Structure 1
Amino acid sequence: MAKYLLLKHYRGAPAAVNDVPMDQWTQDEITAHVQYMRDFAAKLEGTGEFVDGQALSTEGTWVRYDGEGKPPVTDGPFAETKDLIAGWMVVDVDSYERAIELAGELSAAPGKDGKPIHEWLEVRPFYGNPPTITE
């Protein structure tokens, strides 16, 4: 088994087929989207493949050590940026192919008008767990 991070990106560019910003969704559409995520996680809990997952706020802060005591802090990231990390899920699966399969399924979460958003997900193995690509 190897752990993979499925990193959910919200892209402002037309990267997703159903690229309607979430602030333009109805409350029922948001509820359906969140329920899809919960159901997906519950399914993976049942197979023993789910490790953890979280949705992230659009608010954040940048911090960087400057070598002189207290690190400088800058506002951001900002929702108007082209690419914003929306959340993540960690899975523990038998192969890279299974991680890709799960990311594809997660990408089909519903959005505006209940249509799949086809969002891009970044799939990354955890350091020390090289992917087992068999293609």
Structure 2
Amino acid sequence: MAKYLMLKHYRGAPAGVNDVPMDQWTQDEISDHIQYMNDFATRLEATGEYVDGQALSPEGTFVRFDGEGRPPLTDGPFAETKDLIAGWMAIDVDTYDRALELAAELSAAPGAGGRPIHEWLELRPFLTEPPTITE
């Protein structure tokens, strides 16, 4: 089994894709989207492939060490930026192909009008330690 992180990116979508911003969805559309995500996670819990997941608030702060002991803070990310991480889900699957299959399915979560949003997902394997060689 290998663990993967699926980062949910909120991005402007290409023409022809359901790109209605979430702040313009009806309450029912938001509820349907959240229900899809919960049902997806529940199904993966049953197969043992779900590890964890969480939606993220659009508010945040960028922080980095400045070499002087004071972390400079920068406002952002901002919801109106072209790329915002909206949430994440960690999975533990047998193959890379299975990880791709699940990421594609998650990308089809419903949005405005119940149409799939074709959300960008970044699929990243967890970094593992190299095998220990003993002789």
Asked if TM exceeds 0.5, the reply is yes
* 1: CA distance, partners of 2:56 / 2:129: 25
Alpha-carbon distance in structure 2 between the residues aligned to 1:129 and 1:49: 21
Corresponding residue of 2:108 = 108
Give the letter aligned to residue 33 of structure 1. Answer: H
Matched residue, 1:58: 58
Structure 1 residues 92 and 72: CA distance shift in structure 2, 3 A: same
Deviation at 1:23, TM superposition (A): 0.3
The 2-side partners of 1:14 and 1:61 are apart by 28
**1:32 partner SS:** helix
Q: Which residue of 2 aligns with 1:11?
A: 11
User: Contact (CA 8 Å) 1:8, 1:122: kept in 2 or not?
Assistant: yes
1:34 pairs with 2:21: no
- Name the aligned partner's letter for residue 115 of structure 1: R
Structure 1 consecutive aligned stretches of length 4 or more whose deviation exceeds 2 Å: 12-16
Shift of 1:14: 2.6
Code of the aligned partner of 1:79? A
What 5-or-longer segments of structure 1 have no aligned partner? 131-135
Counterpart for residue 20 of structure 1: 20
Paired position in structure 2 for 1:70:
70
Q: Which has the larger radius of gyration?
A: 2
Name structure 2 gaps, 5 residues minimum. Answer: 131-135
Deviation, 1:15, is 7.2
Matched, 1:95 2:110: no
**Root-mean-square deviation (CA), in Å?**
1.6
The answer on 1:84 being equivalent to 2:84 is yes
Name the % identity.
78
Measure the CA separation in 2 of the matches of 1:108 and 1:72: 38
Secondary structure of residue in 2 paired with 1:44: helix
Aligned length: 130
Q: Normalization by structure 2: what TM-score? A: 0.92
* Residues 129 and 18 of structure 1: CA distance in aligned 2, closer, same or farther (over 3 Å): farther
Aligned residue for 1:87, secondary structure, equals strand
